[in-house]
Amino acid sequence: PWGVMDMAGNVSEWTADWYLPYPGNQYDDPDFGRKHRVVRGGGAGLGHYALSVFYRSAR
């Protein structure tokens, strides 16, 4: 309605944030906070689960 279109599902965005588990998550990985950065959003090649503004992954 305000001229804003196509804001999700276009490309992934690599952020400068370290990939850390959400609070309360029991999964442990020695590379958390040292190796992987957060990737947010998704593109057509990732599947329907990644086509949202709250999807995140590590790369």
* Residue 25 pLDDT exceeds 80: yes
Residue 40 lies inside a defined structural domain of this protein: yes
* Residue 48 pLDDT exceeds 60: yes
pLDDT bin (cut points 50, 70, 90) of residue 34 is confident
Residue 24: domain span: 10-59
What residues contact 19, with CB distance under 8 A and at least 6 apart? 32, 33, 36, 37, 38, 56, 58
Residue 57 lies inside a defined structural domain of this protein: yes
Only one residue has tokens 């593109």, namely 43
Rounded Cα distance between 34 and 54, Å, is 22
Residue 20 lies inside a defined structural domain of this protein: yes
What pLDDT is stored for residue 19 in this prediction?
A: 80
C-alpha distances out from residue 28 to 20, 42, 44, Å = 10, 25, 30
Residue 38 lies inside a defined structural domain of this protein: yes
* Residue 27 pLDDT exceeds 70: yes
- Structurally, the chain folds into a number of domains equal to 1
